[in-house]
A = this chain, B = another copy of it.
């Protein structure tokens, strides 16, 4: 592998000049630049990243921590990767379940769907390494997130509008704000809240299936379920099918997130801009890296109506439609989206 010294020798210039050409300095005579560029190409020279990092103190690498087990993470990651790699940064990946990134080799950190422990944040702050959060609000740090309460309201209002009154909530730890939106919508519609219809269970197929069974086999079962995540919603779907309940005739189901799974399953859900959230997060980090920190940002959400919601069976609006309809997109009216 060629070094800058060899390029300099071949091009009959000093290494400083090669370095200037490499870094786009305007202080190089056109003819000199041409000669250097030609030599670089001929030798197939590429600068050594470690040497550059040691010299400049910047690695041009940013860390991305995320829980790999979450399906939405991959889509957010795509947005992150696109923006960062176009800006010439390397993306160093850390699974949230593994040990935390060593500090000194990173220019910045992007944390997806989780917040690093306070002790880590202090280490990053001490080293002056900017941290940006995606899909997690934060008081102090720049973060891109959505309004979970508005999303919960949106989902519930859709079910109420279809004529449902017995609407269950199936959530996980962390779905508290979505549940708050659910309760707010019921309140606003004057529908009585029934604690028996609220199930807070951990993520995962089994727990959701169990809760579904309990709900459907209760004396006064719900006609609709709002699940605080798409994976839980699909588990409800599968579980309902196993119990002989038709969707949406016997049970309407709304999810949250609009991950790929939702599109394939024809699930009605609250859509978050996943890839875009990654892009915006990466842009926030790039800005911080360039020295002008931005304050963070809230992205819009919308309800995507697909095939898993309809009027309850007893309703006059009820009818069996032939074939599936195209998805409808409904944006919340009351949501303020800052840009």
Contact = CB atoms under 8 A, between A and B. Distances in A.
Interface stretch (A9-17, A93-101, A154-162, A280-288): A93-101
A86 B95 CA distance: 11
Given A71-B260, A104-B49, A61 B238 contact: no
Interface stretch (A27-35, A169-177, A240-248, A295-303): A240-248
Given A81-B68, A82-B95, A95-B85, A90 B105 contact: yes
Nearest to A54: B50
Interface string A254-288: 00000011011110000000000000000000000
A321 B265 CA distance: 23
Contacts of A73: 74
A323 to B, nearest CB: 5
Contacts of A99: 85
A231 B324 CA distance: 19
Interface string A221-234: 00000000001001
A70 to B, nearest CB: 9
A98 B85 contact: yes
A307 interface: yes
Contact of A98 (B49, B81, B102): B81
A81 B93 contact: yes
Contacts of A50: 49-51, 53-54, 59, 105
Stoichiometry, as copies per complex, reads 2
A188 interface: no
Given A104-B1, A261-B264, A265-B238, A243 B323 contact: yes
A48 B98 contact: no
A109 to B, nearest CB: 13
A41 interface: no
A56 to B, nearest CB: 9
A323 B243 CA distance: 6
Give the one of A53, A59, A103, A264 with max B CB within 10 A: A264
Contacts of A46: 102-104
Contact of A68 (B74, B90, B265): B74
A263 B324 contact: no
A18 interface: no
Contacts of A105: 48-50, 90
A158 to B, nearest CB: 20
Nearest to A127: B1
8 contacts: A1-B127, A50-B53, A71-B74, A82-B98, A85-B94, A231-B260, A234-B265, A238-B307
